Chains A and B, each alone.
Chain A
């Protein structure tokens, strides 16, 4: 099978909405070289479980490609067409099993020293296509708050070092009722904008009842994801027993479905079920610690759901344990690492901001990192001072007011 032989029937094993979407863009898909086509198919095969923002973006990208002039199309896709694929790759069922193809294709690119060329070609295509996507309708001012539990402290660690030049670094925050403040903030914003997946609370710890009770807020926690994490660790345990290599293991993980992980026990929403499975089984690794789970999940929520509001709460992780230790289910030391967790959380704040910057409308966004243990915060907002430190005592309301948040 080569791309130009694709027909509507080629996608008959796709879920219904994905099948319909592939059919509507069949003429584009037929023209793309396999080396880039399968990346699109990987997204389309999961279309039925994509967030609305992801669907809009993919549709826009394919729309741009469809309307490229012949010359533009040739220029952007030629580097992919030049990659000679070995027959063991072309003989794979790349239509119905894109992850398997991509896993092996990536290995091939590395071993044949073509990864840099592929990366450059992908980047050029991405830039050119993104530049031609019309700007989205004006959206609400995005707000992201990254906070942590009070017990995270590290006296000798300089917080927010990577972020300070972009905003106001407040070294003396007075907030005795921080949880309530966050809850009210979330309530106000979620009451005004009721689109699905617009407001999120990502929690490294246990479920906070007052948050989960709110309507219009997606609540996701490390604890809540336990069934999926267990399923992932079971697959890893099989890998350890069977001697699978990492490539087979990764493939098995990408094949996990919500029904394999009891994800239905977490939420009834199939989009969220698939999202949670992908957080732990796909992407950037297993994220076995609570801090790493929260850091990665925050990025993925922003990238995929493009919410209006995201609250991120870092909690202490356990001290270092080996992955094999987690996999074996042995009881390891449960002693928390408060200092390490603060440092993890500091980096998580930075990565969350990096991801926020990529969203449509990011230039109007408000980003607040507030760590109550050290009583320090950092605000990045269009009207807030940049590269400024203040030792003044400030409340959270006073600080946020400097960001001129809509709500």
Chain B
């Protein structure tokens, strides 16, 4: 599933003993100290008052964004990395509650880790197989409880197509989320006889950076579904879609374009967006990895601003942003630093979570460790539905 360990004696013992999760969160705490002039270790400061009565409000909307795939502290919150996330630092974090230690104890593959975030259980299926999660997803809990049909996922194409619906007997297709794969929509349009050169769009179709992927041709049914999404849900003509796509620089920009279009036209109450450009790190080119982080930073701000400017979302939407996991440490003998996430070391397991929105305290940093599987029960508590099979715990600071 992951890269073979190879030898237990690959090199020396330099495994950076300081890389405990708490040591990793140090930079994030220090950032807040510098910014706010107060000690932040487990401390609530500058807390804006939350409006009463929002907890469990069914009119509330929630957008969950994974800052994927795999960004390390050294390129984000560490002093030398802060230049890559100016929008997060200057605009978003001051408006929200920031958790400095999100420890992922599961499998560090993008699909299985994102599925674990969506189910609140560390899933154990093969990351490289497009499998339905074993446990009910947050979308299924939400839809079964609310009776509504407005849970959506915007995801990359490398296996994520089944993330919206679990294989659990008590839930399943009747309650799942609709998964949009923007690259598949683009492929469908490009394959629909349009007189455009696919080469002009290849940078938007990149998906897997670790190994080349076998991509079967879309079936007629899949292609028809994608074109239906485009016309009926996203309200875009093929011509306009193609024209706009040509102005975009990456697959994540395409995903955010689709996300905003979906928000404008359907205003779903529960939405998961998976960013993935950062995973270009697997190609081994550090600059491309930094570009991916800088782009994700910009796109997160764009989503937040879209929420604020859309009457359907403004004032009643919680935005949660977290990486699916990190990447290997520079000095870890079992890997090649930023390039992969194969060692399971602390730097690869420890990330962060940012929450924004009505009822979320501003300028609050929380240093106690939480886990990505805590997100589902917290969403349930925020939106007023039960998540009985999750293994996570509600994040009290957000309720």
Contact = CB atoms under 8 A, between A and B. Distances in A.
The answer to whether A and B belong to the same complex is yes
Contact of B1 (A99, A107, A292): A107
B1 A36 contact: no
Contact of B105 (A113, A130, A283, A289): A113
B286 A358 contact: no
Interface string B318-334: 00000000000011011
A113 B122 contact: yes
Given A123-B15, A296-B336, A317 B202 contact: no
B284 interface: yes
B342 to A, nearest CB: 8
Contacts of B380: none
B334 A119 contact: yes
B241 interface: no
Interface in A79-128: 99, 102-103, 105-107, 109-113, 115-116, 118-119, 122-123, 125-127
B12 A161 contact: no
Contacts of B209: 322-323
B330 A249 contact: no
A347 B286 contact: yes
A182 B15 CA distance: 33
A285 B11 contact: no
B4 A102 contact: yes
B358 interface: no
Nearest to B17: A123
A296 B9 contact: no
Contacts of A285: 210, 282-284, 336, 339-340
B155 interface: no
A101 B128 CA distance: 18
Contacts of B128: 245-247
A242 interface: yes
A245 B202 CA distance: 22
A299 B212 contact: no
A400 interface: no
A221 interface: no
B290 interface: yes
B169 to A, nearest CB: 22
A36 B337 CA distance: 24
Contact of A288 (B1, B122, B283): B283
Contact of B212 (A113, A130, A236, A291): A236
Interface stretch (A4-12, A140-148, A334-342): A334-342
Interface in A314-330: 317, 320, 322-325, 327
Nearest to B199: A330
Contact of B290 (A243, A284, A343): A343
Contact of A239 (B202, B211, B339): B211
B53 interface: no
A275 B128 CA distance: 29
A289 B280 CA distance: 12
Interface in B182-218: 202-203, 205-206, 208-216
B36 interface: no
Contacts of A287: 284
A40 B14 CA distance: 20
Contacts of A125: 8
A123 B332 CA distance: 11
A295 interface: yes
Interface string A37-51: 001101100000000
B11 A358 contact: yes
A357 B330 CA distance: 13
Given A110-B1, A285-B339, A324 B6 contact: no
Q: Which of A109, A126, A254, A317 has the most CB of B within 10 A?
A: A126
Contacts of B5: 39, 102, 105-106, 109, 118, 122
Given A240-B214, A246-B128, A284-B339, A344 B3 contact: no
A130 B211 contact: no
Contact of A111 (B1, B80, B206, B338): B1
A151 interface: no
B283 A323 contact: yes
B387 interface: no
Given A123-B13, A245-B128, A323-B209, A103 B4 contact: yes
B237 interface: no
B343 interface: yes
Given A250-B3, A322-B206, A289 B283 contact: yes
B221 interface: no
B7 A43 contact: yes
B212 A126 contact: no
A285 B9 CA distance: 19
Contact of B285 (A43, A112, A240, A291): A291
B308 to A, nearest CB: 30
A323 B8 contact: no
Contacts of A291: 284-285
A265 interface: no
A354 interface: yes
A242 B214 contact: yes
A162 B75 CA distance: 11
A236 B330 contact: no
B161 to A, nearest CB: 16
Nearest to B349: A116
Contact of B14 (A118, A289, A358): A358
B219 interface: no
A174 to B, nearest CB: 27
Contacts of B4: 99, 102-103, 105-106, 250, 254
A107 B285 CA distance: 26
Interface string A346-375: 111011001101100000000000000000
B107 interface: yes
A324 B183 CA distance: 15
Contacts of A237: 212
B344 interface: yes
Given A240-B213, A285-B284, A322-B209, 11 more contacts: A113-B122, A161-B80, A240-B215, A285-B282, A285-B336, A323-B208, A325-B202, A340-B285, A343-B290, A350-B330, A358-B12
List the 7 closest pairs (A to B, CB-CB), nearest first. A292-B284, A107-B1, A340-B287, A343-B287, A347-B286, A284-B336, A358-B12
16 contacts: A102-B4, A107-B126, A111-B126, A126-B8, A162-B80, A239-B214, A241-B214, A245-B128, A246-B128, A247-B1, A284-B336, A285-B282, A285-B339, A287-B284, A291-B284, A354-B331
